[in-house]
Amino acid sequence: MAATDGGTRGRLRQATSSAHARVDACFPRGVEDAQAYRRYLRGMHALVSALDAGLSAAPLGDTWREWRLPQRADLLREDLADIGAAPLASGPGLSIAHAAEAAGALYVVEGSAMGATQLLLDAQAMGWSGQRGARFLHAHGGDGAGARWMRYLRCLESARFDLHAERAMIDAAARTFAYAEHEFLRAAQPAG
């Protein structure tokens, strides 16, 4: 069945829907309590740190280089300190070889900003704010999330990757979803 919105986004969505669902299943009730929030922050920090390292090492043009936002990991580190949690030890990394793979990996992280709008409400209900404990969610899922997502989609659709590059993009998105799932599950393990 073809994706209803078509285009590159539709093909990405269709190809990664089960991987996306597995990540969503890591937080079926959002970040309803301190334990879930800690797990989210630790896993997300591992993911965005790996993404930033992968993007910084990739030979990207200006279109995709501008999506590298190292401050995301900084905000997550500050939030972790606020809630009294340590980041996870570094994971295996996320390899990004070219622009199409960057677009695929960014599909996961930029798309997560839309869900982060609800997670921000959950964090605020626990007493966290954009000044303490929910800096990342405030920046990532706050007021500008929808506009940033639309800007990302315009970049994605205008890239016009050939068939080989599009396959690499879809593979990178699937790998990034799998990486996120792995890190969220690792964050759920008791500290050892």
pLDDT for 6-36, tens place per residue?
Answer: 799 999 999 999 999 999 999 999 999 999 9
Evaluate whether residue 105 is within a structural domain: yes
Evaluate whether residue 2 is within a structural domain: no
* The pLDDT of residue 129: 95
Q: Using one digit for the tens of pLDDT, what is the confidence trace for 34-85?
A: 999 999 999 999 999 999 999 998 888 878 888 888 899 999 999 999 999 9
Q: Using one digit for the tens of pLDDT, what is the confidence trace for 97-155?
A: 999 999 999 999 999 999 899 999 999 999 999 999 999 999 998 888 899 999 999 99
Evaluate whether residue 47 is within a structural domain: yes
CATH at residue 135: 1.20.910.10
Evaluate whether residue 10 is within a structural domain: no
* The pLDDT of residue 1: 33
Is the pLDDT at 192 greater than 50? The verdict is no
Evaluate whether residue 16 is within a structural domain: no
Evaluate whether residue 22 is within a structural domain: no
Say how many Å lie between the first and final Cα of the chain, rounded. Answer: 45
* The pLDDT of residue 62: 79
At a CB cut-off of 8 Å and minimum separation 6, what does 74 contact?
none
Evaluate whether residue 155 is within a structural domain: yes
Is the pLDDT at 5 greater than 60? The verdict is no
Range of the domain at 174: 33-188
Cα 46–chain centre separation? 10
* The pLDDT of residue 2: 38
User: To the nearest 10°, the Cα dihedral for 134, 140, 146, 151?
Assistant: 170
Instruction: Provide the 10 A C-beta neighbour count for residue 113.
Output: 21
Whole-structure pTM value: 0.92
Q: Is 173 helix (H, G, I), strand (E, B) or coil?
A: helix
Evaluate whether residue 7 is within a structural domain: no
**CB burial of residue 162 (10 Å; 0-12, 13-18, 19+):** exposed
Contact assessment for residue 60 and residue 102, using Cβ atoms and an 8 Å cutoff: yes
At a CB cut-off of 8 Å and minimum separation 6, what does 184 contact?
23, 26, 27, 39, 40, 43
* The pLDDT of residue 61: 80
At a CB cut-off of 8 Å and minimum separation 6, what does 70 contact?
52, 56
Q: Taking all residues of the chain, what is their mean pLDDT, rounded to a whole number?
A: 92
* The pLDDT of residue 142: 87
- Structural domains in the chain (count): 1
* The pLDDT of residue 191: 64
Q: Is 61 helix (H, G, I), strand (E, B) or coil?
A: coil
